[in-house]
Structure 1
Amino acid sequence: MRIDARGLRFDVTAGGPEQGEPVLLLHGFPQHSGEWAGVLPALHAAGLRTYALDQRGYSPQARPTQVEAYRLGELVADATAVLDALGVTAAHVVGHDWGAVVGWALAAAHPGRVRTLTAVSVPHPAAMAHALTNDPQQKARSAYMLLFRRPVVAERTLLALGGAGLRRLLQGVGDAARVAAYADPMREPGALTATLNWYRAMSRTDLAATGPVGVPTTFVWSDRDVAIGRVAAEACAAQVTGDYRFVELAGVTHWIPDEAPAPLAEAILARVRRDS
């Protein structure tokens, strides 16, 4: 379906029983709502109604050109506006990578809209800030963001040789067809720039404004994640005042929804069932 919200048109994939409890799924970079394909069957079998959103910059008709249009507050406002358009007062929220950042900020700023939060791979912004200050390894892990924030240079680097850089980045999501499913849409005119604008609009002020999260929360992290280290992952607990569960997946890389959909679905369902 397509949802008109805030002057933009978002692509949303809906599934599961229409009367089921709603779940909003927020993807990461450089993917799209298709990253939840392996997770959705278990959620639907459990009776949940899912809405997988192609976020700002990823939906072709929700692709503003200004960098400032991709600040965190805009991304959170998109999520609430889409829930409004769907007639959903409050949803279970699941987010991976950048989608997790949006989920954290949404739960902190609008707890009434979030029944539960399952954040995947990326911890609360304050936990990341703690790790970047105290863990030299996390600084090294996050160095790629310096490239992503460079206009033109990042696009040229990732799109050179038919998108070879993007395909290397996506190693771990699955076979060549799965990699292409994510990389090919990024080669459309303007698409990669729009999604990189999430990094370019990122500011310490916006991230620092994300307060503690009081809704029931599960954080899922994998020990082979090259982007997020253990210090950041374990610092997450201090940022949740509600019921909190930390799930560590052994031998799994950053691409948890693609690589480990079954244990991720189990963690989501455990959180939903605990607080429904």
Structure 2
Amino acid sequence: MESRRVGSETGGRTVRIGGPVSSRHSAFLLPDRGEPPESYDAVCARLHNSGLRTVVLGSIDDLTPAAAAPLLDELSLPWVTLVGYRAGAELAWRTAAANSGRFVSLVAIDRPHPAALAAGHTDADRRTDPDCRPVEMPTTLIVGSGAGAAATRTGRYVYAEFRLVRLNGRTDLLRTASHELATEIVLRSSAW
């Protein structure tokens, strides 16, 4: 995969780009905090074999939902599948809610919608971001062990087709379920 520097409102960012150059389908991956972009190589290799181009952001530090669209513009990617893992998924939910016409679909891994109640809590003040708007695009939430009730409640914050995928018995999905993650991303990226 090729590394490039692209600009943004918070300064330059490193992205890793790979996959077929001629592909009309791309996935924009937002990593967990502190996760090196190389951690996504197994998932990206599977996505490349399926004909998808991938862009893995080097770090989500200081990235805002408003800054994602200019990054995609600079990379000449008009419409992408937005994919986030853990903290990157929290950012992906907010980015999708703020830029609904910019993304084909959303795949969130190990994080429910920020407005969904935290697992095991019933009071509204335990929401991670009660003001996060619902997303209006086809969405898949992939969760491992211990997902809790927030994962189930997430569907009410998706105003489009919603799919909840439970990978019971798995905790570190990036390392233990790369083929399942790639499959779900390909399914969401296709215009069936």
The normalised TM-score by structure 1 is: 0.63
Which of 226, 232, 239 is equivalent to 2:150?
232
Which of 267, 271, 276 is equivalent to 2:184?
267
Asked whether 1:35 is paired with 2:24, we answer no
Asked whether 1:124 is paired with 2:113, we answer yes
Question: Structure 1: 5+ residue runs without aligned partners?
Answer: 58-69, 140-202
In terms of fraction of residues, the more helix-rich structure is: 1
Poorly superposed stretches of 4+, deviation over 6 Å: none
How well do the aligned residues superpose, as a CA RMSD in angstroms?
2.0
- Is the Cα–Cα contact under 8 Å of residues 26 and 33 in structure 1 kept in the other structure? no
Asked whether 1:101 is paired with 2:90, we answer yes
Partner of 1:76: 65
Q: Deviations over 1:133-191 (max 9, x none)?
A: 418xxx8xxxxxxxxxxxxxxxxxxxxxxxxxxxxxxxxxxxxxxxxxxxxxxxxxxxx
The normalised TM-score by structure 2 is: 0.89
Partner of 1:62: none
Letter in 2 for 1:264: L
TM-superposed deviation, 1:242? 0.4
TM-superposed deviation, 1:132? 6.0
CA distance, structure 2, for counterparts of residue 252 and residue 131 of structure 1: 17
Residue 208 of structure 1: SS of its match in structure 2? coil
Structure of larger gyration radius: 1
CA distance, structure 2, for counterparts of residue 101 and residue 36 of structure 1: 18
TM-superposed deviation, 1:84? 1.5
Question: Structure 2: 5+ residue runs without aligned partners?
Answer: none
TM-superposed deviation, 1:130? 5.2
Count of matched residue positions in the alignment of Structure 1 and Structure 2:
186
Counterparts in 2 of 1:108 and 1:37: CA distance versus 1, 3 Å: same
CA distance, structure 2, for counterparts of residue 56 and residue 219 of structure 1: 20
Partner of 2:122: 134
Residue 17 of structure 1: SS of its match in structure 2? coil
Name the % identity. 31
- Is the Cα–Cα contact under 8 Å of residues 33 and 59 in structure 2 kept in the other structure? no
CA distance, structure 1, for counterparts of residue 39 and residue 20 of structure 2: 20
